[in-house]
Amino acid sequence: MDQHDEQEFAEYFAARREAVRRTAFLLCGDWHRADDFAQTAFVALHRRWRKIRDKQALDAYVRRSVVRAVIDESRRPWRRERFVDQLPETPVGDGEVGESVATREALVQGLRRVPPRQRAVLVLRFLEGLDVAAAAEALGCSEGTVKSQTARGLTALREALGDAIDDLRPAS
């Protein structure tokens, strides 16, 4: 890559890294893994930077790379289960900030329990604000698939949120 291309990439990276990292976090629920997924997406973009003609489609390219990386990672057998010796402490809501943190934590816990494809659709549609067509393009599937995965994902999230909210309530 020449100096001009490197400069363009650096500017794009600086402008979009936090948004990409946040999307990755919403997909996987872990900031460290989100950093890895965002890095993977930006490395893939850097490799293809000179070949990309439509610079307006960069966000879609990076978003698709992140979604694919998260889904691919979730398919690996060693990622499916985690055993811990000690259960994490239950957060206690104390005032507005505590409740918003508990709500955010409940959402992240609920999203972790939704299957990866459905989680990706929910994050793209409702947290990233994409419409059905844009989500279908980002995921490389049909609009009908996005609609059905959205319906199934919302059902799974509702069930998971019921459990997650119960888990976050302090023991009486």
Q: Are 91 and 80 in contact (CB under 8 A)?
A: no
Tallying the residues shown for the chain, one arrives at: 172
Q: Are 110 and 156 in contact (CB under 8 A)?
A: no
Q: What is the CA radius of gyration of the chain?
A: 18
Distance CA 171, CA 164 (A): 14
Q: What does the pLDDT read at residue 58? A: 92
Q: What does the pLDDT read at residue 18? A: 95
pTM: 0.54
Helix boundaries (H) for 49-115: 58-74, 95-112
Q: Are 37 and 50 in contact (CB under 8 A)?
A: no
Mean pLDDT in order along the chain per 10 residues (172 residues): 88 95 92 94 92 87 92 71 64 50 77 91 90 91 94 90 58 48
Q: Are 69 and 45 in contact (CB under 8 A)?
A: no
**Range 99-104, long-range pairs (CB < 8 A, 24+ positions):** 102/168
Domain boundaries, the chain: 3-78, 94-168
Give me the CATH code for the 94-168 domain, please.
1.10.10.10
Q: What does the pLDDT read at residue 97? A: 46
Q: What does the pLDDT read at residue 86? A: 72
Looking at CATH, the fold of the domain delimited by 3-78 is given as Rna Polymerase Sigma Factor; Chain: A (1.10.1740)
